[in-house]
Amino acid sequence: MFLTAFTDAAARLDERLPARRPRRAFRTWRRTRPFWGGIATIAGGATILSVPLAPLPIMIHVGTAAISGFAIGAILVAAGLFFWFAPAQRAFIAVLSTICALVSVVTSNLGGLGFGALLALLGSAMSFGWHPHRPRPIVVELPDDDIDDESATRITEALYAASGPPRSTTTTTAAVDGPRHAADRRESPGPDPNRSQWPLWSDWFRRSHAFVLIPVMLAAVAMPAEARNSVPAEARNSVPGEAPDAAAAAAPAAVPTCVPVPGATRPWWIPEWLWLICPNPSATPSPTAGGTIPPSPTPTPPDSSGPKPTPGPTPGGPSGPGDPSTSGSADPSTGGSGAPTVTPTPGVTPSAGAGLTPAPAMAAPGKITEIKYGPNVPTVSADRLFAKGFTFKGTVNLPTGDGGSVKALIFHADNLKADNYRIGTTDPGPKLDLGIDLDIDDVDIYATHLGGKITVPYLNIPLLPIEITADLIPTWLPLEISLPLFSGDGVKAGQVFIRAGTVRGSSLSADINGAGQD
């Protein structure tokens, strides 16, 4: 038939191809273990690994999720190698890798976009189903299964019948069964006389094991899914504002715990009593899922603005409006004698701050020097700028991330519209080039310099081009120049920092260029 033609062709090919001995050796090695199952499992693990292999920093950003995805791919590859080099343990490894393949669907890009998980499932099942041709009890099966007394005696009887008292199970029967096996193959493809009832019994025994495995596996698959939701919920406790949501995410995830197959009917091979057990355990996991919820609300309410708002008497510090009053009000608490001893902190800001009238729109002036800014000031430009409620408030020294400082002009606008606003960063390495039409409410701008042609609003009469630079204006100079309307053409600035309440943008286009460094 076709198959025999195939084997004939294979035999002929075998005669002609070189290196017969190594090929034979490899073939023997290959046939004495679940080779193809191992290949499929390794391929599945490699597929799962190859899809998400993110740079390590990003994996750390994401945390447990990415790492567990990586780990599962690695486990599957290891399982495939175990099928090859420790075939005796294939049954356990196969169950383990099956569970891992299922978990990978949740943790790792749907299990390598489906392919990886399917390959690993197939490979695991192939390895699970693999066993040596004939002398089942003898070769490898004994150590890896619980065999009760009854079947053990049967095995012993079978061994006695076949070869007399066994000295060492494996070697003896391998020697005895080898030739017989070959003979069987040629002569009697039918039922083997040597194969008495016990292998069937053993088959049943094994399958009953498998029936126990099924619920265990289903539970194992459902539980990591739940654990994934509850564990990050705890991990994310440190994230303000997120915890309630994480807790909410954990709650619905408890639903599929024992009903992993929505709408599925009971397959014939699952006993009814086993199928019915399922709803009961589902009641128990939900309290545990609920147990993770209480810790969630513990984080402090979201602290959205600023790194460390230090409320209390201290904030005035640099550039705080009305320094005399703050220092005066803070002192009485420490005692009357303290008042004269408090000297204004030596530095530039107090005097400048004294000149500033309290500007309510400006977000917490005390905080502005607590943040660190990028040392390489981006250049910005706008074809046309139109501002309402525009105020120039002097200059301030802003600390930079590298320990230095940048002197910047302070502007505020109640509303600012910028046509074709462009920002280009000047950091070494990657550079951002972004263009957008902006409409911003309640904005503070800190710029090293500002230049352009000031125009009279609505009339479009260009005036002299002006250029203001922060370096020319001392920080102590009290300034408060307000313009109800301001508009400029061809505006250019060095923008250290922008803080805005609401930014509406349209026609955004951003590119990141520049030589990647490292």
Residues 249-308 that bind other proteins (CB under 8 A): 249, 252-253, 255-256, 259-262, 264, 267, 269, 304-305, 307
Q: Tell whether residue 195 is a contact of other proteins (CB under 8 A).
A: no
Q: Tell whether residue 101 is a contact of other proteins (CB under 8 A).
A: yes
Stretch that binds other proteins, among 133-141, 186-194, 321-329, 477-485 (CB under 8 A): 133-141
Shortest approach of other proteins to residue 401 CB, angstroms?
3
Q: Tell whether residue 385 is a contact of other proteins (CB under 8 A).
A: no
Q: What is the DSSP letter of 475?
A: T
Laid out side by side, the sheet with 461-469 consists of 379-399, 405-424, 431-456, 461-469
**Which phi and psi (to 5°) does residue 461 adopt?**
-95, 115
Q: What is the DSSP letter of 405?
A: E
Residue type, 202: S
Q: Kindly state the number of chain residues that form the binding site for other proteins, as judged by CB under 8 A.
A: 136
Q: Tell whether residue 416 is a contact of other proteins (CB under 8 A).
A: no
Q: Tell whether residue 396 is a contact of other proteins (CB under 8 A).
A: no
φ/ψ region of 54 (left if φ > 0, alpha if ψ in -120 to 50, else beta) reads beta
Q: Tell whether residue 188 is a contact of other proteins (CB under 8 A).
A: no
Q: Tell whether residue 23 is a contact of other proteins (CB under 8 A).
A: no
Give the nearer residue to other proteins in terms of CB position, either 140 or 454. 140
Q: Tell whether residue 100 is a contact of other proteins (CB under 8 A).
A: no
Contact 486, 468 (CB under 8 A): no
Contact 393, 411 (CB under 8 A): yes
Shortest approach of other proteins to residue 328 CB, angstroms?
32
Quote the CA–CA distance of 173 and 176 in Å, as a whole number.
Answer: 5
Quote the CA–CA distance of 274 and 212 in Å, as a whole number.
Answer: 9
Stretch that binds other proteins, among 335-343, 353-361, 460-468, 503-511 (CB under 8 A): 503-511
Q: Using CB under 8 A, which residues numbered 445 to 464 contact other proteins?
A: 446
Q: Which of 42, 43, 49, 66 binds other proteins (CB under 8 A)?
A: 66
On the 0-12 / 13-18 / 19+ scale of CB atoms within 10 A, 274 is middle
**Who's near 139: CB < 8 A, 6+ residues apart?**
132, 170, 173, 174
Give the nearer residue to other proteins in terms of CB position, either 311 or 336. 311
Stretch that binds other proteins, among 111-119, 159-167, 315-323, 457-465 (CB under 8 A): 111-119
Q: Using CB under 8 A, which residues numbered 362 to 381 contact other proteins?
A: 371-376, 378
Q: Tell whether residue 38 is a contact of other proteins (CB under 8 A).
A: no
Q: Tell whether residue 155 is a contact of other proteins (CB under 8 A).
A: no
Q: Tell whether residue 10 is a contact of other proteins (CB under 8 A).
A: no
Contact 468, 409 (CB under 8 A): yes
Give the nearer residue to other proteins in terms of CB position, either 96 or 352. 96
Residue type, 154: R
Quote the CA–CA distance of 233 and 269 in Å, as a whole number.
Answer: 37
Token pair 């943008």 in the structure block, residue: 505
Q: Tell whether residue 246 is a contact of other proteins (CB under 8 A).
A: yes
Contact 430, 490 (CB under 8 A): no
Q: Which of 58, 212, 339, 463 binds other proteins (CB under 8 A)?
A: 58
Q: Which of 23, 207, 284, 314 binds other proteins (CB under 8 A)?
A: 207
Contact 40, 120 (CB under 8 A): yes
Give the nearer residue to other proteins in terms of CB position, either 70 or 486. 70
**Which phi and psi (to 5°) does residue 272 adopt?**
-60, -40
Give the nearer residue to other proteins in terms of CB position, either 441 or 489. 441
**Who's near 344: CB < 8 A, 6+ residues apart?**
323, 327, 350
Shortest approach of other proteins to residue 486 CB, angstroms?
21
Q: Which of 49, 140, 158, 159 binds other proteins (CB under 8 A)?
A: 140
Q: Tell whether residue 137 is a contact of other proteins (CB under 8 A).
A: no
Per the structure block, which two tokens stand in for 231? 């564990």
Q: Which of 236, 407, 412, 417 binds other proteins (CB under 8 A)?
A: 236
**Who's near 295: CB < 8 A, 6+ residues apart?**
234, 237
Q: Which of 130, 198, 390, 421 binds other proteins (CB under 8 A)?
A: 130
Per the structure block, which two tokens stand in for 70? 């990586």
Contact 158, 193 (CB under 8 A): no
Token pair 């070189």 in the structure block, residue: 18
Helix axes 149-163, 169-187, angle to 10 degrees: 70
Shortest approach of other proteins to residue 459 CB, angstroms?
30
Q: Which of 139, 247, 278, 410 binds other proteins (CB under 8 A)?
A: 139
Quote the CA–CA distance of 153 and 198 in Å, as a whole number.
Answer: 10
Shortest approach of other proteins to residue 330 CB, angstroms?
27
Q: Using CB under 8 A, which residues numbered 310 to 369 contact other proteins?
A: none
Shortest approach of other proteins to residue 55 CB, angstroms?
5
Shortest approach of other proteins to residue 378 CB, angstroms?
6
Coil, strand, or helix at residue 477?
coil
Q: Using CB under 8 A, which residues numbered 156 to 175 contact other proteins?
A: 173-174
Give the nearer residue to other proteins in terms of CB position, either 129 or 462. 129
Q: Tell whether residue 20 is a contact of other proteins (CB under 8 A).
A: no
Q: Tell whether residue 84 is a contact of other proteins (CB under 8 A).
A: no
Give the nearer residue to other proteins in terms of CB position, either 52 or 350. 52
